[in-house]
Structure 1
Amino acid sequence: MRAAFASRIDETDPLSALTVGERPEPAPAGDDWVTVEVRASSLNHHDLWSLRGVGLAEKQLPMILGCDAAGIAPDGREVVVYPVVPTPADPRGLSILSEHHQGTLADRVAVPAANLIPKPAALTFEDVACLPTAWLTAYRMLTSRGRVAEADAVLVQGAGGGVATAAVVLAAAMGKRVYATSRDPGKRERIAALGATAVEPGARLPERVGVVIETVGEATFDHSLKCAGFGARIVVSGATAGHLPRVNLRRVFAMSLEILGTSMGTPDELAALLDLCVESGVRPVVDSVFGFGEAAAAFARLASGVAFGKIVLDHTR
């Protein structure tokens, strides 16, 4: 079957470690596993980190990449694949597809039957293939971790990336005032069109916010602290610009701030996110759609940093 996989590890030139070619059919890891015919998948920066060897060792190669997918279950149902699977070999007891188990960037993927979430008829395969990693992470950051229902305003740092862009759209759909930062004037213009007040990094906001969505790290964390109101939650799911920021602890305790880490979400949260998309009319922001045969070009766009929203692979072409 066709697949996009890590054939080796290259820390400095990850794209050179990507191979698009034939791989064996997926092997279910247990009696409760099933094989899904993939119709659409989407890329994440996790895929580039895997090619660099972060979370992926040489002995695990070749490894089919990809966390996100939607397709057809063996019984004919249209489904979304929840990508977190039980993994006794991992210290966490679980892992994301493409870490210990072959990923979704292939014609077929094997997953536990319990990981199949019904796809709403109102959403396309391309829509739902964007949701299980970046959009689910953003949803969890806002809801169960950020308790956004208690807030009037939200700050999203580094809008333009998958999680940050999702957070802007979802927070706006939840009726919150949304502020979003980006260094790129073009991305600020596009973020404003999604319902946010777009500002330059470090800019003073007209108010303090109740929730900060932080995926950038060192470059923005001091600004996040300064923009957080009393009792606010700063929710962290990434550190693309450094993972060791200086933290003003006086501000943390004086303002009763909560700094919360999170990653991904639960199957129930993914189902709730699907319901929200149907009920509110929200759709994922898609940067571009590539045919599966163009997977290498899709990875090159992801690595370039110019994408705004999700990059999708259409497995039907």
Structure 2
Amino acid sequence: MKAMMLRETGGPDKLKLEEVDTPSPGPKEVVVRLQAAALNRRDLLVIHGRYPGIKLPVIPGSDGAGVIVAAGDEVNQVAPGDQVIINPGLNWGSDMDRKDAGFTALGMPANGTYAGYVKVPADNAYPKPSHLSWEEAAALPLAGLTAYRALVTKGKVRQGENVLVPGAGGGVATFIVQFAAALGANVYVTSSQAEKIAKAESLGAIGGVNYKAEDWVEQLQELTGGINLSIDSIGGEAFGSLPVLGKIGSRIVSFGATRGPVPNFTLPSMTVKEISVIGSTMGSPQDFADMLKLVAEHEIHPVIDRTYPLEQAPEALLRMEAGENFGKIILTIPQ
């Protein structure tokens, strides 16, 4: 099969298209012929060598959807010919509230979805929502799962609440906007680009502000009247303003810190307002099933930014690295 192989870290240019052996399933595994894959920022961490426990060579990629072509002897929940979407989380464990220490995801250390075929546990293959195209289905897994757990399982969003999504444009942030709007929340965003705020509004957000404005906090406070739930992946100085925006008893969920540490985070506003700060990462098998149910019930369509053929994965990764995308970047797989 054709695959984008990473044999040394250093950047997207280190990915090379190679011909490699097609995997065979173990007793409880299936092999999926991929129709499409999607990019995540985790892929960049792996490719640049900034991800813990890197083992090379590896085929990166966590997201994919396709058709089962082979199944192990002990597999009975799915069968060859089934159209499936892949849960990228591996070895979550039996406790849906917290992951086991051995939890990993496709694409590191296990080979991932930048390939013609991928081998996964049969329990990780779920029926593809019928209203989604292959590209849309591939866009959903990691970002949709992360968004659902942060918003619903950890954030416990309620209808009518004001939800803030800093940094509109990324895959997870886009899903949070869509999911929160579908669940009846009032969604607000921040971005440095008016175009991205407008796109978020087209997905259900009420409005947003430019976080580069000196008075962006005051603007947002006036626009919203206060925030019940902030879901952040940015960190940095802007994170320190979230308690200021929060209402009494509000929640802040963090699932990343792309801008690093928070130099201005102070406890007084946290304690006086009784604000909860909650960490979240990816999600459990139950979260994945519940996320797919939400997507199907509300016929939510993932936002596709741009589509590239598999061999142009380095170019696609550079677009994501530059922050030029709004929504998910897709790789189409040659058949």
For residue 41 of structure 2, the aligned residue among 10, 20, 45 is 45
Provide Cα deviations, 1:64-101, integer angstroms capped at 9, x if missing partner: 0000111111321011111111299x982120111121
The Cα RMSD (Å) is: 2.0
Q: Determine if the alignment matches structure 1 residue 200 to structure 2 residue 205.
A: no
Instruction: Please give the TM-score of this superposition, normalised by the length of structure 1.
Output: 0.92
In the other structure, the counterpart of 1:143 is 152
Partners of 1:151 and 1:210 within 8 A in 2: no
Helix, strand or coil for the counterpart of 2:61? Answer: coil
In the other structure, the counterpart of 1:17 is 14
Helix, strand or coil for the counterpart of 2:148? Answer: helix
Question: 1:151: how far off?
Answer: 5.7
In the other structure, the counterpart of 1:84 is 89
Distance in 2, matches of 1:8 and 1:84, equals 24
Provide Cα deviations, 1:117-175, integer angstroms capped at 9, x if missing partner: 11122222211111111111111111010000266110001111111111111111111
For residue 122 of structure 1, the aligned residue among 96, 109, 131 is 131
Distance in 1, matches of 2:107 and 2:290, equals 25
For residue 164 of structure 1, the aligned residue among 163, 173, 191 is 173
Give the percent of matched residue pairs that are identical in Structure 1 and Structure 2. Answer: 35
Q: Name stretches of at least 5 consecutive residues in structure 2 with no aligned partner.
A: 71-79, 94-98
Q: Determine if the alignment matches structure 1 residue 300 to structure 2 residue 318.
A: yes
Question: 1:5: how far off?
Answer: 2.6
For residue 60 of structure 2, the aligned residue among 56, 65, 70 is 65
Distance in 1, matches of 2:177 and 2:100, equals 33
Provide Cα deviations, 1:175-231, integer angstroms capped at 9, x if missing partner: 111110001222122222222212122333231111101011013212211111111
Distance in 1, matches of 2:163 and 2:140, equals 21
- Which stretch shows the higher mean deviation, 90-99 or 194-203? 90-99
The one-letter code of the counterpart of 1:2 is: K
The one-letter code of the counterpart of 1:147 is: K
Question: 1:272: how far off?
Answer: 2.0
Instruction: Please give the TM-score of this superposition, normalised by the length of structure 2.
Output: 0.87
The runs of at least 4 aligned residues of structure 1 exceeding 4 Å deviation read none
How many equivalent residue pairs?
A: 311
Distance in 1, matches of 2:90 and 2:173, equals 25
In the other structure, the counterpart of 1:277 is 295
Question: 1:250: how far off?
Answer: 0.9
Distance in 2, matches of 1:232 and 1:91, equals 28
In the other structure, the counterpart of 2:2 is 2
In the other structure, the counterpart of 1:95 is 104
- Change in Cα spacing, 1:125 to 1:245, as seen in structure 2 (3 Å) is farther
The one-letter code of the counterpart of 2:168 is: A
Q: Name stretches of at least 5 consecutive residues in structure 1 with no aligned partner.
A: none
Distance in 2, matches of 1:146 and 1:247, equals 20
- Which stretch shows the higher mean deviation, 202-211 or 174-183? 202-211
In the other structure, the counterpart of 1:290 is 308
